[in-house]
Amino acid sequence: MEIKVGLGTCGISAGGDLVYKALKKTVREKNLDIPVKETGCMGMCYEEVLVEVVNEKESFLYAKVTADRVERIVDQHIVNKRPVEEWIVRSNTLSLQEDFFNKQNRIVLRNCGVIDPTSIEEYIDRDGYQAVQQIIEELTPDEVITMVMNSGLRGRGGGGFPTGLKWKFARESEGDKKYIICNADEGDPGAFMDRSVLEGDPHAVLEGMMIAAYAIGSDEAYVYVRAEYPLAIKRLRLAIEQCEKKRFLGEGIFGSDLDFRIKIKEGAGAFVCGEETALIASIEGKRGVPRLRPPFPAVKGLWGKPTNINNVETYANIPWIIRNGADQYAALGTKKSKGTKVFALAGKIARSGLAEVPMGITINEIVYEIGGGVKEGREFKAVQMGGPSGGCIPASMGDLKIDYDEITQTGAIMGSGGLIVLDNTTCMVDLAKFFLNFTQNESCGKCTFCRIGTKRMLEILERITAGEGKEHDIELLEELAQKIKNSSLCGLGQTAPNPVLTTIKYFREEYEAHIHEKRCPAHSCAALLTYSIIPEKCTGCTLCAIKCPVNCISGEKKELHTIDQEACIKCGQCYDVCKFEAVEKY
């Protein structure tokens, strides 16, 4: 029997460290010979801290564990062998109403939340590093590439370029030196797939890189990981050290005559460095600024040498494909999008967390069946996919199948897997403004259209949400958006207008309401709100008048209060404090 504590960043931020310490202490105090281990994110971030008690046959997952609950779990479950059923959310023996995992298929996340990421042995125990040894002994590089091509795996960083083909280009490029790069510069707001994989199963990524290195003929690799992921860096560094000790990395890896080294390069947090040419510039010590492709990195990459770049999730898929075969991978998904995809569910969704689903699943299935629907029973309005480069897909298109090409058709993109659920309190103009503000700040400032054009778009959105929209603003936004998309160097600029374009496409009437009627249909834009007191409901309790920071509410005690609309600053405090729902906003 052993106890595992989810100690991904999600677990730690929910207090996992304290639970882990408490468990260790309690087990020690009670002289129990039970190992307490750490593991990565299990996906159910909404239930953190998660503690799993496993023995050979059974597994019990405790949710929302606090240090206070540790004593009882140990006493009742470990000592007295009676699981504390009311705290358990998942178990292979108990019948529980839990369907977070029902529609999932965990390939990338196969070890996350299962093994101890700090132990190479546990990874090896789960057939780790067998794939790489197998190919070195049995397959030629071309055969490996064919296998990856046959699997149908497409780049999980967002572009969706066929991975096998990318490898083939890098292999065919002439050069005495070639590089492998793992892009772990995950930067989309609300996306944390790569972080969880690096924290929960770093060896899978390393093994994927080794296979890629063998396939294209590289002996040196970089993992470009953002410095804001300290735990991921720590675990990755440890994993590399462990590999070097075992001669999986270094000279003559796995007893072959091949050399391979992996270095970590910490990114300083520039979003644009997720773009591959900017990332390369950053590794080279230059300002992280993209350059025109072609030449693609496969031809001219790091230090001008042929370079293969994939992201974390892509590499993590590779060992599984090698071991289970291309066909088995290709059996999952749709015609053009194979395998699974990890999504980070966030926003107004009941169960936020990490879910790995087979391609072809519908948006509604993810939102309702995995995510448990919208929080607090509000109305599901749209999903935002692909982060700042992506777009909004309205609820009416909920039956859309998750597939690279289907999603692109809508104006959104698959992206790296951020999936933000929006409800009827979200203003779509404001949402577009949020993402544009993000890209505007993260633009490297090189191209005219991205640097100034997105700024001007943002200013237009700002004036619309402030109630100062002008007659032809929507057309101006659309025109600028097209020009920015057409005339920017890298993906950041080319996709920056997407959130604006898709919200205009599906929610044009919201823009129009802001501009023509000076009204925010979602009651979200402060400048456009009107607060007033419903006479029938007001009891004259004076609370709103006391709270009002500008003293614009007047009325005698126990008499009807009124708001001076001229003076009101629309802070909404009256609305929040009224116990009788007598304040309405519209």
Partner 1 sequence: MDMGIIKVTINGQQITTESGKTILEVIHDHKIDRIPTLCHDKRIEPDTSCFICVVEVEGIQKLIPSCSTMIQDNMVIYTNNERVRSSRKTALELLFSNHYADCIGPCIDNCPAHVDAQGYIALISARKYRDAIRLVKENNPLPLSIGRICVRDCEAACRRAIVDQPVGINYLKRYIADLEGENKWTPALKEKKNQKVAVIGGGPGGLTCAYYLILEGYEVTIFEKLPELGGMLRYGIPEYRLPKKILDAEINWITGLGIKVQTGVEFGKQISIKSLQDAGFNALFIAVGAHRASKMRVEGENDTEGVIPGIDFLREVILKGVPAIQGKVAIVGGGNTAIDAARTALRCGVDEVKIIYRRSRNEMPAHSEEIEAAQNEGVEINFLTLPKSIIRDGKTLKAIECLKMKLEDAGPGERPKPVPIPGSEFILDCDFLISAIGQQIESSSLTGEKDLKLESWGSVVVDQKTMETSIPGVFAGGDVVTGAYTAISAIAQGKQAACSIDDYLKNGQTGRGNGKYLSFKHYFGEIPSRELERITKSDRITMPEIPLAIRKKTFREVETGLTDEQSCIESERCLECGCSEYYDCALRKLADEFDLDISDYLGETRKYEVDTRHPFILLDPNKCINCGRCTRTCSEILKVASMGFVYRGFKAIVKPAMEKPLLDTNCISCGNCIDTCPTGAITEKFPFKVLGTLPKENRETICNFCSIGCKINYKVINDDIVYVSNSTEGIKDSHNKGYLCMKGRFGHRYLMNGNKVQSATIRKNGKPEQVDSDKAIDHAAKRIKEIVDQHGPQSVALFCSPKLPNEQLYLLQKFGRSGLGTNNIASIDTLVNETALIDLDDSLGITSSTVTMDDFQKADLLVVVNGDLSEENLIMELKIKEAQKNGTKLILINSSEIKLTKFADLWIDSRKGTNTVLMNAIIQQVIERNQYDETSIRSTVEGLEELKKMIAMFRKEEACDIAEIDEEKFDTLVDLLNNPSSNIIFIYNLDSRKEKTKNDLKAIGNYLLLTNRFSRRNNGLMLLRDYSNSAGHLDMGVDPDHLPGYVKFFEREEIKRIEQMWNTDLERVFLPTDIKKELMEGKIKAVLIFGEDPLACLDTARWFKNMEFLLVHDSFYTDTARRAEVVLPAPSFIEDRGTYTNCERRLQESIPVIYPNNMNEGWETISKLASCFNGGFGYESIKAIFSEMCTINRMYREGKPNSVLVNPVILGKFFTRNKKPNFAIIDYDLKTINPLKTSFSYSEMFFRKNIKSNLFH
Residue ranges in contact with partner 1 by CB under 8 A: 270, 272, 287, 289, 291-292, 294, 440-449, 451-453, 455-456, 459, 476, 479-480, 483, 485-489, 494
* Concatenated DSSP letters of 116-164: -TT-HHHHHHTTTTHHHHHHHHH--HHHHHHHHHHHT-B-TTTT--BHH
Q: Among all chains, which residue has been given the structure tokens 């690799």?
A: 221
Residue 319 CB-density burial (10 A; 0-12 exposed, 13-18 middle, 19+ buried): buried
The torsion of the CA quartet 48, 54, 58, 62, rounded to 10 degrees, works out to -20
Are 208 and 248 in contact, with CB atoms under 8 Å apart?
A: no
CB of 517 to partner 1, least distance (A): 23
CB of 304 to partner 1, least distance (A): 11
Pick 205 or 480: Cβ nearer partner 1: 480
Q: What is the DSSP letter of 368?
A: I
Amino acid (1-letter code) at residue 204: A
Pick 237 or 483: Cβ nearer partner 1: 483
CB of 500 to partner 1, least distance (A): 16
Pick 287 or 375: Cβ nearer partner 1: 287
Are 268 and 227 in contact, with CB atoms under 8 Å apart?
A: yes
CB of 490 to partner 1, least distance (A): 10
Helix, strand, coil percentages (3-state) for the chain, rounded to 5, are: 45, 15, 40
CB of 85 to partner 1, least distance (A): 52
Pick 76 or 487: Cβ nearer partner 1: 487
Alpha-carbon gap, residue 366 to 359, rounded angstroms: 11
CB of 344 to partner 1, least distance (A): 25
Pick 39 or 494: Cβ nearer partner 1: 494
Pick 230 or 269: Cβ nearer partner 1: 269
* Concatenated DSSP letters of 310-335: EEHHHHHHHHHHHHH-HHHHHTSB-S
Helical (H) or strand (E) element with 422: strand 418-423
Q: How far is CA 303 from CA 166, 279, 450, in A?
A: 19, 12, 27
Q: Are strands 59-62 and 88-91 parallel, antiparallel or unpaired?
A: antiparallel
CB of 518 to partner 1, least distance (A): 20
Pick 268 or 534: Cβ nearer partner 1: 268
Are 253 and 210 in contact, with CB atoms under 8 Å apart?
A: yes
Amino acid (1-letter code) at residue 544: C
Pick 274 or 373: Cβ nearer partner 1: 274
CB of 458 to partner 1, least distance (A): 9
